Amino acid sequence: METTALRSKKKMTGRLTCVGAGISIGAHISPITRTTIQSADIVFAASSDSLFEAWLSELHPNVKSLQKYYASGKSRKSTYSEMVDAILEPVRSGKHVVAAFYGHPGVFVNPSHKAVQRAKNEGFDAKMLPAISAEDCLYADLGIDPGKYGCQHFETTQFMLYHRTIDTSAYLILWQPMAAGDLTHTQLTSNSHYLEVLTEVLEDFYSGEHVVFLYKAATNVLQQTKINEVRINEIPASEICMQTTLVIPPYTTLKLNEKIKAKLESARKKEINII
């Protein structure tokens, strides 16, 4: 019979690593993520793409899907909570668990953050490995340098619900517009009525004629990246899916802060005089 001390020691050998496979399945995985998956005792797959699970199964013989926790009309909050419980159960049994997510495990992924934090709170070793996200693909596919004008990133419903100060001389990137306005966390398709409200919010800052991009990254080498140009007032009638990101280019020009420029020039002259 195991003593309490032995059971405690066995329990604490469990560990959790949340990883991301990137956006393009099989093409974006990093060497450390591949090695981590292959060395795990059990791998949980979090993606609605069946190809994702098939690909993971080639790397590891014990892959379990987390998709079964989704259901029509069921709040995603409940789904995420059940996912976290499923991930942590084998960790508590002393297993090395890997939870593999589509894209980056820390970007718009609720269960990964909660699972890592809960595991740490319970005394287990838990960490997250970085990966290529939709944001990384977006910069490359749209030719955006975030350092040129700056970028603002918001989850769409949060952007709609709260007062935000928007700089229209920078890019505005809204994530998950498909779920815009969904306060029940059950929506699986876009709602044109909610998107009309989003358009109203955007028109407080931009002209309805301002051209924006509906962006969807390719998830495998056989797919093509989709970039649809529409006007803001056309958003409610546009095709928007779960993977779509709304990218709004700068609307106004950058305004030089003459006061700060003068101070910088003065500081430069002082430095030259010191030298």
Per-residue model confidence (pLDDT) at position 152 = 97
pLDDT at 163 over 50: yes
Bridging pattern class, strands 151-155 and 171-175 = parallel
Neighbours of 96 (CB within 10 A): 18
User: How many angstroms separate the CA atoms of 34 and 26, rounded?
Assistant: 10
Per-residue model confidence (pLDDT) at position 219 = 87
**In which band, very low, low, confident or very high, does the pLDDT at 141 lie, cut at 50, 70 and 90?**
very high
Lookup result for tokens 């450390």 = 32
Does 268 participate in catalysis according to the annotation? no
Per-residue model confidence (pLDDT) at position 275 = 58
Does 206 participate in catalysis according to the annotation? no
pLDDT at 217 over 50: yes
Does 80 participate in catalysis according to the annotation? yes
Active-site pick, 15, 34, 69, 76: 76
pLDDT at 129 over 80: yes
Active-site pick, 102, 171, 215, 251: 102
User: How many angstroms separate the CA atoms of 195 and 33, rounded?
Assistant: 37
Mean pLDDT of the chain: 92
Active-site pick, 80, 171, 215, 251: 80
Per-residue model confidence (pLDDT) at position 1 = 42
pLDDT by residue (tens digit) across 35-78? Answer: 999 999 999 999 878 889 999 999 999 999 999 998 888 999 99
**In which band, very low, low, confident or very high, does the pLDDT at 265 lie, cut at 50, 70 and 90?**
very high
